[in-house]
Structure 1
Amino acid sequence: MSSRDVPHPDHDTEGIGRRGFLGSAVGAAVGATLPAGLTAEPASAASRAAADRPVRTRSGLVTGVPAALDGITVYKGIPYAASTAGENRWRAPQPAPSWKGVRAADAWGAACPQPVTGIAADKVPPLSEDCLNLNIWTGAVGSSERRPVFLWIYGGRNSAMWASQPVYDGANLAAKGAVVVTYNHRVGAFGNLAHPELSKEGGHGGSGNWGVLDTVAALKWIRSNIAAFGGDPDRVTIAGWSHGSSFVNILMISRLARGLYHRALLAAGVQYTKDPALGRVAGGYDTLAVAEANGTAFADYMGASSPAGLRALTADEIVTKVYAPGAPATGTDFGNVLDGYVLPTTYTAAMESGAEADVPVLTGNNKDENGASPTLAMTVAQYQAYAGTTFGDRAAEFLALYPASTDAEAAAQYNNYARDEERVSTFLWGTQFRNTAGNRSPVYNYWWTHVPPGSDTTNPIEPANGAGAYHGAEKYYLFGNLYGTDRPWTEADHAIADTTSSYVANFVATGNPNGRSLPAWPALRTTKPLSMELGDRFATLPAADSDAKYAFLKDCLKSQTTSY
């Protein structure tokens, strides 16, 4: 079976969603929930007083500001490492600067330089290589509390990659008992450049994963400082969506972050380690040799003969040339790197050697990604050609399981297949985590089905015309922060967000999403191929629509000869 070849215009913010496309005491453990229809609340005098109380970090004192919900304080733009400009460009993050007096953490920090063409100026934060900063939402009244910590890693591809968008607002999860942290890290050429000379500089034989190293620095900052904000450094969840999910996946293998986190949430998500999709989605990677060759071509394209020459360029020069129309693909393609240090081994080898971190996992994908879309158009001829190319001598078997005699049926059956395959791949990853890696921690897998209403102009990361339950549609509901965005939310949306964010808050607190008054979410059982539907319903559903389809897709995935 080959990777999907079916286009998905709704995934523009990620480049390709999951596939390409054909043709053109959380309180106590979160029984306590926020009322449906929740809106942002003006800060009370007590909230303002709490925000004005200085909190001591290792670098100095900070004060915050009242957050969107009363009783919650947000601290914005706190540096967790030094600027990455100049000699620090393409180096591991350096210690954060200290300051005297009290720093007012009342403004969002700068984001890493990146293209922002087409994004309204009032939605773009400052762009600077001094971008390693984080934000904290907390309802704790003092440092003696020990609330669970939720570190969120944004997704995206090349643009709209910053932590201050309203879709990442942490006030609701903080109101449900978590201490929420979002942060900015290096992206694009700044976050993923590998080069032979940089590999020599680092002393580890590899280079490239600078954004992941930034994440490790943020986790170390949390370890040293979060108790001052009422957080528990021994209950940290690393969580991310899409590209951010790939960071979580890498950190579950890397030794660099061991002991710094205790649970993992991967939204869109994980794939079985022989799934061909890994060759083209955010969770994929290049070998060090390929990444270094790209870096050498990048240096040639930029007219530099060495890392020193590259560091002499301005950030604007790099962004302008890398993302210029007609820029060559070779030398401008930056992603995760199998560098032997940050990512020490392949996903498959990590499972087989037991290197995968044994922590509770919550992961899932969406109904209208993986090439599926309610707007998909496909002819019978295209569908049959796809079956032949993808399944070879098993094409007839595939077409018997997913038959189509009209163009409308072809599009519908392709969608059915793509959705089944997505759930099966996620389930098989869970069986690897439990059986192959020998881990004892539970896996909770989900399938998101709810369509957000209308469109959203408040968050540049959201697609202008997202179709169906598109790639990333669940973010609003995981955070439960509908109050900060401009979609025409309904009472049903608020109820879905309340239930979903309660699952998240429980998982952050205990490693188990279940809680009082919530529909039961069973942990993955490797002998029972199920997922948990979130969104339009909260109930289990099969990994595929029939046992025969599950058996076929499982066999096709397991028979792949390429392992990632």
Structure 2
Amino acid sequence: MRDVQPPTPAATELGRRGFLGRTAGAAAGAALLGGLETAPASAASKSSNSSESARSSERDADRPVRTESGLVTGAPAALDGVTVYKGIPYAASTAGANRWRPPQPAPSWTGVRKADTWGAACPQPVTGIAADKVPVLSEDCLNLNIWTGAASSRERRPVFVWIYGGRNSAMWASQPVYDGANLAAKGTVVVTYNHRVGAFGNLAHPGLSAESGHGGSGNWGVQDTVAVLKWIKRNIAAFGGDPDRVTIGGWSHGSSFVNILMISRLARGLYHRALLAAGVQYTKDPALGHVAGGYAPLATAEANGTAFAAYMGTSSTAGLRALTADEIVSKVYAPGAPAAGTTFGNVLDGYVLPTTYTAAMVSGSEYDVPVLTGNNRDENGASPTLTMTVAQFRAYAASTFGDRAADFLALYPAATDAEAAQQYNNYARDEERVSTFLWGTQFKETAGNRSPVYNYWWTRVPPGSDTTNPIEPANGAGAYHGAEKYYLFGNLYGTDRPWTEEDYAIADTTSSYVANFAATGNPNSHGGRQSLPGWPALRTAKPLSMELGDNFAPLPAADTDAKYTFLKDYLRSQTTEY
């Protein structure tokens, strides 16, 4: 959720995020119309039966599965024994009259639809992205992908729904970094999907609010997510999935969708666990004013929408819907476009997001489901390439902590510029962990929830660079914002980083945590051959996190008790409640 800039122009090259890896073979087969049963493949990684397993996958992929809109066939996935179904519509086109309206029912088809090609991505800027990495862009983009290793539609495997993140660009579900074959091989049914983004996904406008029937507008992408969850409820059993064991997970902006749906009434009963990567903040953390998890009040968002309409040369919703998608993208994201009218994010609309994060906690309306959430070592302004002078560091301390600046500098002392950069990193990393832990205490104590929270701290640096996924930064430093995505999915295969055996082992462990969490709401081992380092649930009286990546072990929420107390008191003293 965070991608926070450090407090100085000299502090450049911020990190982003990362987690998962190599897998063994999977149970063979795809879900079918009628009871296809095949023997599970060997659990060893490509065994001597791999050729037969691959042929079996091809046969299974050709067998139709019935959805409410019609029959579909899939294609063999990246791992033997797993079938992928690509580009299945879950709602109608969002063009024309459907633009900036809730998703409408998907059209039906006759015959058998070959779900072997990725669906279109939603309109967005793609400047600077290699043409061979850009999918078809269309407003007819509400489609989803399913990976399953189920041998029969009678199986009831846990379902893991992934929500991509990003900032207006490279936001689509078909990137290799979101490949679900490994998690499917570990027993889950994985769903990724495309949802509306940018101006198409978040525009609020007085005219749209007037026609909505509930007095608000915006959050169209979140409403797309609700439509996906409803589609899963009605259809996923045909693919061997359990509609009563659904985990929603997301990264960064996608994580903010999960956070919203934990408050919204629109998705209650449609999911049963929540994973927030680049996750949550304490609800009085000032960072919420400028990270993906933040939101604009409806009046502010509507004023932006009015400015947007004026910028586009119209004042009516009909005029806005008459514009082409290309016109909107080219003007909104043009160099030099004014900030007023071209800034879009989540909206406190009173409907999709009915109340503030703090009010949801205080009222006890935060959804009581198991939560897995965490952050990365090199985000929130921290980066191994950070530069900062002592003067800048002291100025930051004075402006942020006021009359407690001296206390801060005593905890994070710096006499040289190199020490200033290092101590800022130390502070940013401590503050991130403390903020997440305090959110957990709110979830447990303020909201009174009984479900467990599992909080993590990601430390592994992915090697090299990745040209296969446009969402990955060209020069992400350290354990950057987003680096854990590989390891969460365990899909190191199919990307072009120079992965090591250690990366594969880390990925296998981390993806097993995810698969376990999706199955039971607890990431830990549950008998059988699997043995994972123990991950303790959050205890409000013991400020800890779980390191994932370079090590798998609990670590303090801050480097010392004194730092924890200082940062806890600072965050709790804030007067703005998000």
State the secondary structure of the residue aligned to 1:106. coil
- One of 535, 538, 555 as aligned partner of 1:521: 535
RMSD: 1.8
In the TM superposition, 1:304-315 aligns within 5 A as 304-315=314-325
2:205 maps to 1:195: yes
- One of 546, 560, 565 as aligned partner of 1:532: 546
Aligned to 1:543: 557
Q: Structure 1 residues 556 and 521 mapped into 2: Cα distance closer, same or farther (>3 Å)?
A: same
Aligned to 1:509: 519
In the TM superposition, 1:133-172 aligns within 5 A as 133-172=143-182
Amino acid of the structure 2 residue aligned with 1:537: N
Aligned to 2:272: 262
Aligned to 1:458: 468
Q: CA deviation at 1:238?
A: 0.3
Contact 1:291 1:337 in 2 (8 A): yes
Q: Aligned equivalents of 2:409 and 2:175: distance in 1?
A: 44
Q: CA deviation at 1:305?
A: 1.4
Aligned to 1:5: 7
2:81 maps to 1:71: yes
Q: Structure 1 residues 299 and 232 mapped into 2: Cα distance closer, same or farther (>3 Å)?
A: same
Identity rate, percent: 84
Q: CA deviation at 1:308?
A: 0.2
In the TM superposition, 1:294-313 aligns within 5 A as 294-313=304-323
State the secondary structure of the residue aligned to 2:402. helix
Amino acid of the structure 2 residue aligned with 1:541: L
Aligned residues: 546
Aligned to 1:243: 253
Q: Aligned equivalents of 2:294 and 2:165: distance in 1?
A: 14
2:398 maps to 1:396: no
Contact 1:36 1:495 in 2 (8 A): no
In the TM superposition, 1:263-282 aligns within 5 A as 263-282=273-292
State the secondary structure of the residue aligned to 2:246. strand
Q: CA deviation at 1:6?
A: 4.9
Aligned to 2:396: 386
Q: Structure 1 residues 548 and 37 mapped into 2: Cα distance closer, same or farther (>3 Å)?
A: farther
State the secondary structure of the residue aligned to 1:71. coil
The gaps in structure 2 that reach 5 residues or longer are 18-25, 28-40
Contact 2:547 2:553 in 1 (8 A): yes
Aligned to 1:105: 115
- One of 432, 445, 468 as aligned partner of 2:442: 432
Q: Structure 1 residues 4 and 408 mapped into 2: Cα distance closer, same or farther (>3 Å)?
A: closer
Contact 2:295 2:346 in 1 (8 A): yes
Aligned to 1:495: 505
- One of 200, 213, 216 as aligned partner of 2:223: 213
Q: CA deviation at 1:36?
A: 8.2
State the secondary structure of the residue aligned to 1:415. helix
Q: Aligned equivalents of 1:66 and 1:335: distance in 2?
A: 37
The gaps in structure 1 that reach 5 residues or longer are 18-25
Q: Aligned equivalents of 1:174 and 1:350: distance in 2?
A: 34
Q: CA deviation at 1:484?
A: 1.3
Contact 2:307 2:341 in 1 (8 A): yes
Q: Aligned equivalents of 2:414 and 2:46: distance in 1?
A: 43
Deviation per CA, 1:285-331: give whole Å up to 9, x if none: 00000000000000000001100000000000000000000000000
Q: Aligned equivalents of 1:36 and 1:363: distance in 2?
A: 30
- One of 49, 72, 75 as aligned partner of 2:59: 49
Contact 2:5 2:381 in 1 (8 A): no
Aligned to 2:139: 129
Q: Aligned equivalents of 2:45 and 2:332: distance in 1?
A: 45
Q: Aligned equivalents of 1:33 and 1:388: distance in 2?
A: 61
Q: CA deviation at 1:44?
A: 1.4
Aligned to 1:563: 577
Deviation per CA, 1:101-130: give whole Å up to 9, x if none: 000001000011000011111111100000
Amino acid of the structure 1 residue aligned with 2:565: A
2:323 maps to 1:323: no
State the secondary structure of the residue aligned to 1:236. strand
Q: Aligned equivalents of 2:395 and 2:46: distance in 1?
A: 48
Q: Aligned equivalents of 2:46 and 2:371: distance in 1?
A: 30
Q: Aligned equivalents of 2:258 and 2:514: distance in 1?
A: 16
Deviation per CA, 1:522-548: give whole Å up to 9, x if none: 000000000000000000000000000
Q: Aligned equivalents of 2:42 and 2:448: distance in 1?
A: 36
Amino acid of the structure 2 residue aligned with 1:544: A
TM-score computed with the length of structure 1 as normaliser: 0.95
Q: Aligned equivalents of 1:538 and 1:48: distance in 2?
A: 38
Q: CA deviation at 1:5?
A: 2.9
State the secondary structure of the residue aligned to 1:289. helix
State the secondary structure of the residue aligned to 1:232. strand
Aligned to 2:90: 80
Contact 2:5 2:380 in 1 (8 A): no
Q: Structure 1 residues 286 and 47 mapped into 2: Cα distance closer, same or farther (>3 Å)?
A: same
Contact 2:12 2:385 in 1 (8 A): no
Structure 1 runs (4+) deviating above 2 angstroms are 2-12, 32-38
Contact 1:209 1:342 in 2 (8 A): yes
Aligned to 1:339: 349
**Comparing both chains, which one has the higher relative contact order based on Cα–Cα distances under 8 Å and sequence gaps of 6 or more?**
2
Contact 1:33 1:498 in 2 (8 A): no
Q: CA deviation at 1:142?
A: 1.3
Q: CA deviation at 1:9?
A: 5.2
Q: Aligned equivalents of 2:46 and 2:286: distance in 1?
A: 42
Q: Structure 1 residues 279 and 33 mapped into 2: Cα distance closer, same or farther (>3 Å)?
A: farther
